[in-house]
Amino acid sequence: MSERAAPFYCPYCGDEDLRPSEQGHGAWECAACNRAFQLKFLGLLARGVQPSEGGGDEI
């Protein structure tokens, strides 16, 4: 990825008033709930995406 991915919502309160934090790469601050959090991409899973066999949820 060449650009920094930005979160759209705070994971704690759901507000959209987010700003990059000075704490480092991937760190964000929420002005609404006054919390700071960090996002980190861990990597791809070895199993990949598996299609579901049923084609949908059963009722």
Q: What is the pLDDT of residue 57?
A: 67
CA 37 – CA 26 distance, rounded (Å) = 8
pTM over 0.75: no
**56 pLDDT above the threshold of 90:** no
Q: Which amino acid is at 49?
A: V
Predicted confidence (pLDDT) per residue in 3-54, tens digit: 667 899 999 999 999 999 998 888 999 999 999 999 888 888 888 667 767 6
CB–CB of 18/12 below 8 Å? no
Q: What is the pLDDT of residue 2?
A: 47
SS3 36: strand
Confidence category of residue 1, pLDDT binned at 50, 70, 90: very low
